[in-house]
Chains A and B, each alone.
Chain A
Amino acid sequence: MSREEPIPRFGHKPQVAFFDFACCEGCQLSVLQLEERLLEILGHVDVVTWREAMTEQSTEYDIAFCEGSVTTEEDVERIKRIREQADVLVTLGSCASGGCHNELKNQWSMDEVRRVVYGDAADTISTIPSRPVTAVVDADYRVFGCPVSLPEFMTVVNAMLTGQSHQPPNQPVCVECKLNDYVCVYEMGKVCLGPVTRCGCNAICTAYGDPCQGCRGLMDAANIPAMLKALKREQAHAIMCAVVQRHELSDDEIAAKLRIYNNWPEFDLKEAQPDDD
């Protein structure tokens, strides 16, 4: 249903721009997959800039959707300019909202990274440690996921258009997994990061019997030491024992698993605290 009168919060039909930083642009692609629901949103806003979807561009906009990670000094300046222009800034996807695999490169020195990636041209390219948009500017709304979960995207758009705040969910994926009555993938012999990962995806991976890879990042107060113990077989019941015996994960492998999406800020397994006080 489209709404003819302007959205109260803006006093006029707000203008929307999409921007991408270092990423795979999968989140924008997901948003385009909304299809009919996207048309519904377009009844409430005018899109003025969206490189992946249209040729027109504008420097005037009220709402900025920003996807990707900040990886150069130019990116830093660019995101600051966007923040200045936009009344509302929404980060799209884990790359922008909290950290994603772009931050994997931060484990090495930037010189080494440039040499490996650009070879002889290394000296002509500048790069800085990768960071989410939220590490540089404040975001009014954050949509997590790699890519974003579309139901959550709709919820955030709705909150934004009606001038309400939206708190990202702060429960583990296990909650959604159980409420959907899915089989725990540990029972199927797979190692799952669901117990420490922020939910909001409706446990889409475990729905298909795949383990959670943690793409939405750690929830607040994630009990990492417990996860390490579980994965290292120091604590495990019959079901878990069967799983971890099969996987025989070394410390490095466990760290690598947890690191895929959790390298911002610097992720230190040894520093992680078990309690949430």
Chain B
Amino acid sequence: MGRELVMTREGAQSFFGRLIEEGPVMGPRERISQPGFVMFDWLDSAGQLRLKYTTTTIPPKKAFFPPRQPLFEFESSQPPTITAVQEATAFTLVGVHPCDLAALEMLDDAYAQEPAEACWPAARARARVIGVDCLPDEYCFCFGFGTCYGREGADLFLTPIGRGYLVEVLTEAGGGMLRLSDVEDATDADREQAAAFRRAKSERMTASIDASPAEFADILEEDDFGELWREVASRCYSCGSCNTTCPTCFCFDIKDEFDLGLTGGRRIRSWDSCQLQEFALVAGGHNFRRIRWQRVRHRWHRKFLYLYRDFGRPYCTGCGRCSRACTADINIVDVSNEIIGRARGRA
């Protein structure tokens, strides 16, 4: 862990104000038309920033990969032209919780697999990241997943304490940002308050998956849960919200949009979801996960088995967004524990 400093509440206000003056800043802010609901969005002033929030519907990965992203524009002139849509502006992403920091690192790994994806690392290279610690709600289960106290990928990390924030300086870029702020050295009392905050975090966490990632992967590999998948599927809409809200989901679809009369257009990629019926539809009309339970099973296998084997960690941070978003009450912790319970009952 790097240097520890303290930013007072007022100090933080002026720091974020200066940061916003300096360049684009995305962070959690209250929605204008729906007060009380926080979303990641570009900030106009420090007053909009809500560093104390439980979670957001859409994770902060949208800063690097917008849900709908133009890749290039083309004109069908002679000769045809293609112009890449390239964002070049550096920006700062603030207010990222530890689970979401972990998700960014998972996506770094996923997109680096050959053939490597180019847009994600380019966007990541443009950004500085400021993390902030949080307290869980009944859907969070990051504790058992080791993402609860992660700092990976953050340049600065803030922990709420009585007089403001304990600031961990994790990178040179993070240290550089602090020239915009008035910081003080942390006292033992500040450190103790930060430690108390972290203890409260784990103590308040009520949800957890009852097996280690390794054991859960083994259980899923043995998969003999046809009945359970069908039960879950009978309730599932295949609406995809559990994927479109997930910080570690990385699938996308690519489509061309044409201007009238085929004079030109643009290529757009947008977030996709393996729960949608057409996800696994291929040329010729074959759909290799046409039936709903196959898609439900795929989500669990993907997150807790295949990617666990590929990358050595489950592709789930325990953020609970999928359970919160599911209007059919399919809760990732409940279903996972049901699987684990049935597997152990059988053994």
Contacts and interface: CB of A to CB of B under 8 A. Distances in A.
Nearest to B271: A179
A240 B329 contact: yes
A170 B278 contact: yes
Interface string A224-265: 011101100001111110000000000000000000000000
Contacts of B234: 223, 225-226, 274-275
Interface stretch (B42-50, B124-132, B287-295, B308-316): B287-295
A42 B276 CA distance: 37
Interface in A175-215: 175, 178-184, 186-188, 192, 194-196, 208-209
B67 A226 contact: no
A24 interface: no
B324 interface: yes
Interface stretch (A92-100, A141-149, A154-162): A154-162
A230 B327 contact: yes
A1 B257 CA distance: 15
A138 B82 CA distance: 38
A7 B263 CA distance: 12
Contacts of A225: 234
Contact of A195 (B39, B244, B291, B327): B327
Given A178-B57, A221-B238, A277 B260 contact: no
B323 interface: yes
Contact of B236 (A183, A192, A194, A226): A226
Interface residues of B, number: 48
A275 B244 CA distance: 22
A95 to B, nearest CB: 26
B187 interface: no
B278 A237 contact: no
A194 B241 CA distance: 11
Contacts of B259: 1, 158
Given A1-B261, A188-B34, A238-B138, A230 B328 contact: yes
B260 A158 contact: yes
A3 B39 CA distance: 43
Nearest to B334: A237
B291 A236 contact: no
A239 B324 contact: yes
Contacts of B326: 237
Contacts of B270: 179
A209 B240 contact: no
A135 interface: no
A40 interface: yes
Contacts of A154: 260
Interface in B220-270: 230, 233-241, 244-245, 257-263, 270
A99 to B, nearest CB: 20
A68 B280 CA distance: 35
A181 B39 contact: yes
Given A184-B57, A196-B237, A276 B260 contact: no
Contacts of B340: none
Given A178-B244, A226-B328, A276 B263 contact: no
Contacts of B328: 195, 226, 229-230, 235
A276 B277 contact: yes
B258 A179 contact: no
A172 interface: yes
B327 A186 contact: yes
Given A226-B235, A229-B235, A275 B292 contact: yes
A7 B262 CA distance: 10
A113 B215 CA distance: 64
B68 A235 contact: no
Contacts of B257: 155
A181 to B, nearest CB: 4
A174 interface: yes
A220 B281 CA distance: 14
A41 interface: yes
26 contacts: A3-B261, A40-B260, A41-B260, A44-B260, A44-B261, A157-B260, A158-B259, A170-B277, A170-B278, A171-B277, A174-B239, A175-B244, A183-B31, A184-B325, A188-B34, A194-B239, A196-B237, A208-B33, A209-B33, A226-B235, A226-B237, A235-B328, A237-B323, A239-B324, A274-B234, A277-B292
Given A175-B240, A275-B292, 4 more contacts: A174-B237, A209-B33, A222-B237, A223-B236
Interface of A: 1-3, 7, 40-41, 43-44, 154-155, 157-158, 161-162, 170-172, 174-175, 178-184, 186-188, 192, 194-196, 208-209, 220-223, 225-227, 229-230, 235-240, 274-277
3 tightest A-B CB contacts, nearest first: A178-B244, A195-B237, A174-B239
